[in-house]
Every structure is written in C-alpha cells, then in structure tokens.
Chains A and B, each alone.
Chain A
C-alpha cells in the first residue's frame, strides 16, 4: 500500500494488481491442495476399516494378535473362511437372505407401484384421506408395532419361518407408494389416454405403459427395498430361532456373541457379508443417490 501512495501512476497500479492476482492464484492452489488433502483423509477414514477387515481376515490368527501391524497379509490363508463354513451353515444363511430379499422386494415394488398408480391416476371417494393416512404410518416407530407384530406371527404359527420377513413387505409401504406416486405425477398422461381410446383396460395400461415409464424410480425403490431386507436385523432377531433359517446378519451377530475370541473368523464372516453389498453398491450407486435425493427434497 505504501508503494501505491508513493507513486500512484497507472503502471504501479497495474503492477500491484498483477501481484495480487499472482497471490490469489497461489492461494487458490493452496486452497485446492488443502481441500484434496482433506477429501483424501476422510476417504481413507471411510475405506480403511473395510480394507483392514478384509486384509486381516486373510491372516493366520496368531499374526492377527501380534505386533507389528501387518497391512498386507503374509502368508495369505483362507483358514478363517474354511472355519466359518464348517462352524456355521453360512452358505445356507446367504441363500436364505437372498431368497427373502428377492421375493419380498419384488412383491413390495409391485404392490407399491399398483397403489401409486391408483393414487396418482384413478379417482375414487376417500382417495386423499386414505393417502394421508398412509403417509402418517411413516411416523409410527417400529418399536411400537414390534410386539403386536410378533404376536400376530406367533398366532399364525409363522415364527421361525421366512413368512414374517416376506409377507408384511408384500403389502407394500408408505415410503414406496409416496416415491412412485411423486414420480408418476411428473409424467404426462397422453400415452395412457391414447391407450385407453385404443381400448386398453386400466390394468393393461398400468402394466404396458406406466411400468416402463417409471422404471428408473422402480430400480431406485427396488435397490433400497433389497438393501433394507438384506441388512434388516431387529425383526429377524425376534422371529427366527434356528441357525438353518437365519439370515446372514443374524449369523454374523453369532460370531460376536458365542465365538468372540475367534477374531479371524469374525473378520472372515464380516468380509463375506460386506463384499457382495459393496459390489452391488458400486454397480448401482446412481440409484442409491437418486432415491435419497428424491426423499430429501421433499423436506
């Protein structure tokens, strides 16, 4: 500044602003550098626990519990994986979970789509009230309905079967209906009207025209429904008793309870549960982000 007041000619001004620009550029680089450093640091914090788990699951037990830290397993061993396979019906648990998640997700998505179409396109007395009532059920905490649902399943004789994990989801849910209805409302009706003039039934229009149009929303909802079934814990914990019928999450929880000294086996089991989900996540990630963005925006 002193320089400027001493010889405040146009040349001096230009020189100063050039220097200021250079400074700004330097700051910008520093800022970018710091931002990237922070991004990477947090990224490591998010990924390291998974990488560590998988790498440690390939170590022999004795090197797990000794110093120094071995980041890369040497020697690599699948001992823990063989052990988990023979100690627990782990393959069976994976199949159970997959079956439950597939059937319940397919039913959930279809029922939700059906209802979403009804609420978005068909006029019937009580429509708005019923839709509001449906949305209100999202506010009911699961803890409140847990015990009566358990009693219902017990009364039906469904405890320790897959039915409690599948049947309620076949009736859809408020979240799915809401998401698909919002999506349907943004779509033009011309195609449906044209099909109606051509003599299509309402159900025919729903199947042949609406379903293909809302495919992205169906994929998003399906991904979420599958994940929530796959990762569900409290409800299966309450309704299942037999190891052969356990879901993978229940099987995993046993590793901490009963064999909590066998860290290698615990890590192997966790890796087996994490890897498929992460693979699915990386291939379908855009649907996850879309789905959350859709709900979040409604706030």
Chain B
C-alpha cells in the first residue's frame, strides 16, 4: 500500500475510483448488516411493542428467557432438529455424490434429478409433502395401507412431526450438499487411486484412506454451513406444521417470529432471542474451527 500522503496523483485517482466502485456495497454493509446488528443488541435491552416508546429494561429480556418454558422447549426442538438433519444431510449427500461421481451412461440425468428439489421453494416443497403425508388422503399412507401397514399421523402427532420435518428438509436440501461433495470428489487426483490400487487396496480401503481424508475439507465446510442453516429453520415448519402439534416442531426462529410479528409484538424479547441464537451459532462455528485441526486434512 503506497503512503497515502506521499501518493502520486495517479495513485490518488485510483484510490478514489476504488472507493467509488466498492462504495455501494460498503454502504449496504453499514445499512443492512452493521447497523442492524447493533440496533438488535440495543433493542434486546428494551421493552418495545413498536407502538409505545422503548422502555429500557437492562438484561431483563435475557433473564426472562430462562423462565420461559416454551423458549426452553424451542431450544430442545432446535437441537433435536439439528441432531437429525446434520448427520442425515451430510451422510446422505456423501452417499449420493459417491453414487453419481463415476462417469457412466445417464449419470448427468441423475445428478440433475437429485438436485431438482433444491431449486424448488420451501413453500412448494412444504405443500407437496403436507399433501403426501396427509394421514387420511396422503399417498404415503395409502401405499403403506396397500401392504397392510397403518401409517402414523406424520404431521399431526407429537412423536412423528419432528422426524417428518427432518426427512422433508433432508429431501429438499440433500442435492445441494451432493454437488459440493461432487466438486470435492472431482478434485481428488486419479493417480492417488491408481497408487492405492497398485498397493492392493480394495474399494473400502481406497475410500477410507484416499477419498475420505481428501474430502475432509469439503465435509468441514458442509458441517459448518449445516449448523448455521439448521439453527435457523423456519419456512418449512411454517408451512408444514406451524410449529405444532403442541409446539412439538416449534424451533427458535419460529418462536422468535411469533414473539415479534404475531399479535405479541415483543420486539425486545425477540431481539434477545436473536442475539442468543447469533452467539450460539458463532460459538459453534468457532468450536468447529478449533476442532477442525484434529480431523480436517489439508494437503
């Protein structure tokens, strides 16, 4: 970087152009990211329904979270959802990627089909599956009925609602991680496989000692992204179960939305939830980065 004061006219001109080119994005950064983050923190220290003026209450909103049984339930539900979707999403996507990795006739068609749900909106996916999993008229229970199994109430029973939501989410998103894994797989040089083969490694040994270690950076990336997105589940739950039955699928962001934007208008309380959620995601991401040194293999 040239010394700004001693800069030539040409360097100064280039710098001004630099600020002009990046200016709109940097303004957006201030207006739509930095300011909202600070404002959210401030709001979380107040009681505010958007109508009455803000009333400063200190840390009360955060303390109240500990006494809110519904909030604690949504924390447990979010952990349940994440504990289901993250391993399922990663293992499922890896299996699909391995399945469509090798060039064989028609493989591009299968890649395309597996990716198809990803481009469809969460609302459409939710509606399709709400219909498929309808207890009385849904295709799934009808087909189960034909082989003599009485299908459960997928979306309307406390035990089955969350597993159903997890499965639908996996169906919707597995193609996305598959493509990332596929890119990782294609980045593994062929000569490593050939060397392993010459050493007499069988298919499983080749996977365990070549594919998997070289795929750990990709897996790490997917794991980090999966935590971030699974902690923010909202759309599918809104469409499919509305957080029900009996709050069995009510997760953090859904409860936050209920507090802020349904009749309750608890902006301060919802902001406190948002901050706790943000800090939890940050802590988990940092923890994953720290742990990465132990298992992620960088060439």
Contact = CB atoms under 8 A, between A and B. Distances in A.
B19 interface: yes
Interface string B108-137: 011111111111111110111111101011
Given A42-B114, A143-B274, A147-B43, A278 B120 contact: yes
Contact of A115 (B22, B100, B267): B22
A171 B128 contact: no
Interface stretch (A3-11, A117-125, A186-194, A214-222): A117-125
A1 interface: no
Contacts of A53: 128, 131
Interface size class of A (residues with CB under 8 A): 35 or more
Interface in B11-38: 11, 14-22, 24-29, 31-37
A127 interface: yes
Interface in A245-299: 249, 252-253, 255-256, 263, 266-267, 269-270, 273-274, 277-278, 280-282, 285, 288-289, 292-293, 295-299
A43 B110 contact: yes
Interface in B165-220: 171, 175-176, 179-184, 187, 217-218, 220
B119 A281 contact: yes
A289 B97 CA distance: 13
A137 B37 CA distance: 10
B28 A50 contact: no
A49 interface: yes
B183 A273 contact: no
A161 to B, nearest CB: 17
A64 interface: yes
B231 interface: yes
Interface in A151-209: 151-152, 154, 168, 170-174, 177, 202-203, 206
B123 A249 contact: yes
B21 A114 contact: yes
A144 B131 contact: no
A112 B19 CA distance: 14
A117 B27 CA distance: 16
Interface in B218-254: 218, 220-222, 224, 228, 231-232, 234-235, 238-239, 252-253
B32 A278 contact: no
A142 interface: yes
Nearest to A125: B4
Contacts of B32: 145, 149, 168, 171
B285 interface: yes
A69 B114 contact: no
A172 B260 contact: no
Contacts, number: 283
B164 interface: no
16 contacts: A133-B29, A137-B29, A144-B275, A150-B261, A170-B24, A172-B25, A237-B238, A249-B122, A252-B121, A253-B238, A263-B134, A266-B127, A273-B123, A277-B121, A281-B119, A292-B183
A-B pairs with lowest CB-CB distance, top 8: A299-B221, A171-B28, A118-B21, A124-B18, A296-B180, A148-B36, A231-B121, A122-B18
Interface of A: 32, 35, 38-39, 42-43, 45-47, 49-50, 52-53, 56, 64-65, 67, 69, 111-112, 114-115, 117-119, 122-125, 127, 130, 133-134, 137, 139-152, 154, 168, 170-174, 177, 202-203, 206, 227, 230-231, 233-234, 237-238, 249, 252-253, 255-256, 263, 266-267, 269-270, 273-274, 277-278, 280-282, 285, 288-289, 292-293, 295-299
Interface of B: 1-2, 4, 11, 14-22, 24-29, 31-37, 39-40, 43, 50, 96, 99-100, 104, 106-107, 109-124, 126-132, 134, 136-137, 139, 142-143, 171, 175-176, 179-184, 187, 217-218, 220-222, 224, 228, 231-232, 234-235, 238-239, 252-253, 256-257, 260-261, 267, 270-271, 273-275, 277-278, 281-282, 285
Given A46-B175, A139-B281, 13 more contacts: A38-B99, A39-B106, A46-B171, A50-B116, A115-B26, A130-B22, A134-B25, A143-B273, A147-B43, A233-B238, A237-B261, A252-B124, A273-B123
